[in-house]
Structures are given as structure tokens and as C-alpha cells.
Chains A and B, each alone.
Chain A
């Protein structure tokens, strides 16, 4: 079953602008992770935020987690053309803690 759902499905912005992607999930979680996938490549882990954290930063990335709303957001500031990729949220689910991925947000940053 789908755990994370990203929103929007696609986002197109100009270089220098900020990009915000959202993820909603259904069950309680230990952590939530964001991954990036460039076209034709594997997924790259960006950031992991634990259930007792509200905000986390990594370079130009800012992730928030609201466990009461079961949602997370990924903000990319001062976007670059190289940020063009699909972004996925993932949450551990079930007794096996398998990672369940959302369908992703396709971000296009126009130069």
C-alpha cells in the first residue's frame, strides 16, 4: 500500500527560486527520508528526519516534519538547474520496517 504521497506531482521553477515539495503519510513512523533521482540514475539519499525532530537542514535543503498532520516538506532554496530531478519521500512501514516510497515530485529548474 502507498505510504508517502508527494505533492505536487510536477513542479517547474526558474533558477534561483525556492522549491517546496510536500509528503503525506498514513501511519505512525520512526523516521521519514527524502531521496533524489536524476533521470536515468539511481536514488540518492538526501536527508533523514526522525519522528522526534521537527526540522532539519542540509546545505540548501530544509526538511520539516509534522507528525500531528502526518506530513513533511522539502524546501530547496536558491535552486539550480542541477537540482532538476524527481524527489521521493520514503517511510519505514510494517514490522519489517521496509521503506515505502511515494510516487515522487518531478522538479524542473529552468536556467
Chain B
């Protein structure tokens, strides 16, 4: 049973396109996150939602828009993709507040050409 799942696993697309990454957790957690990991393995939080409400919104271009239809899902939509968006995007979830243990998905490898 997959706890935190993401689709797609790989995403190759052209500059300027719009794409979405989906995330689902079956752990019953209240809080979900999106992280970006760059080529140097540096992992940085982008967004966090608690029970469908945005609670963390880092300095991320507004081309990135998270959407949480329910507390088990947190999708990431990216408009007008740029070369610098190429990275691995991880979804995560936690039971309680953000400072506690987080459970990560397998990642989505995005390559913008």
C-alpha cells in the first residue's frame, strides 16, 4: 500500500507549456506539502496545506499554484514552464503541524526542454 503517491513519475515537456503533478496520501494526515529538490540535492519547501487551507507559501513564482480538493490530495499546477523549473518535486504529508515527522512521495522528475 502506497502511503504518499505522485503522478507522473517523469515529466518531460517544452518551455512555455502548462503541466500538473498530482499527489495523494492515504495516511489520513491533515497536512500536505510540496518540495523542490534541485540538481545539487538541495530540498526546499514550496507550499503546505492543512485541511485544504494554505499555511505555508514560500517565495515561489506565481506560475506555481497548488490546489487541494480535499485533505488527501494536493496537486501542483505549473504555468508557462521555464528551464529553471527542471527539478525533482516531492509531495509529503504529516499528521500534525509541519514541524513533525513527514512522509514523502517518490518524487516527480520534471525536465523542461
Contact = CB atoms under 8 A, between A and B. Distances in A.
A104 B99 CA distance: 19
A68 B18 CA distance: 48
B99 A43 contact: no
B43 interface: yes
Interface residues of A, number: 23
B45 A86 contact: no
A44 B90 CA distance: 12
A42 B89 CA distance: 10
B12 interface: no
B56 A98 contact: yes
A45 B4 CA distance: 13
B43 to A, nearest CB: 4
Given A43-B90, A43-B104, 14 more contacts: A31-B100, A33-B101, A42-B105, A42-B106, A42-B107, A43-B92, A45-B101, A45-B102, A86-B41, A92-B99, A96-B48, A96-B55, A97-B98, A101-B44
Interface of B: 4, 40-45, 48, 55-56, 58, 90, 92, 97-107
